[in-house]
Structure 1
Amino acid sequence: MRIEYVEAVLAVVELVPSGTAVAYGDVAELLGSGGPRQIGSVMSRYGGGVPWWRILKSSGQAPEGHEARALRHYLEEGTPLRGDHDGYLRTGEGRWRVDLTAARWAPREDELDRVDAIAERLERRLHRLSVADDGMSV
């Protein structure tokens, strides 16, 4: 996976505000590149330094293996949840998820401008790399 793509994904993730969340596919759509699996791969390998808990499966489930840590973040940030999260905190049992309908980030115009700038920069960088790979001068 190209580092340019990784950097673009992480830059978009950093824009997602506290108390909101998006699905992996939402990030891919905002970037205009890749899909949910590519975003998930970036997040699993490189997402530790960004608010990873705000990027979810489309079902609203927290990243696998990180449910307890993610739940603490969601409660701290006031992220809308569904299900038995109190039981999960007490016993480690119970079913809960982020209410992605209520929590989904809807970027404002200025935030969309920033996402567009990230996507355009990614496209330019990848284009330059593909031209260089073809042996042409940049």
Structure 2
Amino acid sequence: MRIEYVEAVLAVVELVPPGSAVSYGDVSELLGSGGPRQVGSVMSHYGSGVPWWRVLKASGHAPEGHESEALRHYLEEGTPLAGAHESFLRTGEGRWRVDLPAARWTPTDAEFDRMDAIAEQLERRLHRLSVADDGMSV
């Protein structure tokens, strides 16, 4: 996986505010590149330095193997949860997921502008690399 793509995905994830969430597919759509699996791969290999818990499966389930740590973040940030009843909040036991329709991040115009800039930079960098790979001068 190209580092340019990794950097672009992580830059988009850093824009997601506390208490909000996006799916892997949302990130790829916002970037205009890759797909949910590519974003998931980036997050699993490189996502520890960004708010990884804000990027979920489309079902709203937390990243596998990190549910407990993610839940702590969701509760701290006030992220809307589904299936979380009062007893759950006391014990942490039971079935839950992020209520993605309620938690889904809606970027502001300025944030969309920032994502457009990230996507354009990614496209330029990948284009330069593909031209260089073809043996043409850059």
**TM-score, length-normalised on structure 1?**
0.96
Alignment correspondent of 2:36 = 36
SS at 2:97 equivalent? strand
Shift in Å, 1:89: 6.1
Listed as ranges, the gaps of 5+ residues in structure 1 are none
Alignment RMSD, CA only? Answer: 1.2
Count of aligned positions: 137
Alignment correspondent of 1:125 = 125
Amino acid at match of 2:31: L
Query: 2:26 aligned with 1:26, yes or no?
Result: yes
Alignment correspondent of 1:60 = 60
Alignment correspondent of 2:113 = 113
Shift in Å, 1:84: 3.1
Task: Render the CA deviation track for 1:47-89: whole Å, top value 9, x for unaligned.
Answer: 0000000000000000000000000000000000011365376
Alignment correspondent of 1:8 = 8
SS at 2:124 equivalent? helix
Q: Alignment identity in percent?
A: 80
**Contact between 1:88 and 1:95, CA under 8 Å: does it hold in 2?**
no
Alignment correspondent of 2:103 = 103
How far apart, in 2, do the equivalents of 1:73 and 1:80 lie? 11
Listed as ranges, the gaps of 5+ residues in structure 2 are none
CA distance change for structure 1 residues 18 and 116 in 2, over 3 Å: closer, same or farther? same
Query: 2:77 aligned with 1:84, yes or no?
Result: no
**Contact between 1:28 and 1:36, CA under 8 Å: does it hold in 2?**
yes
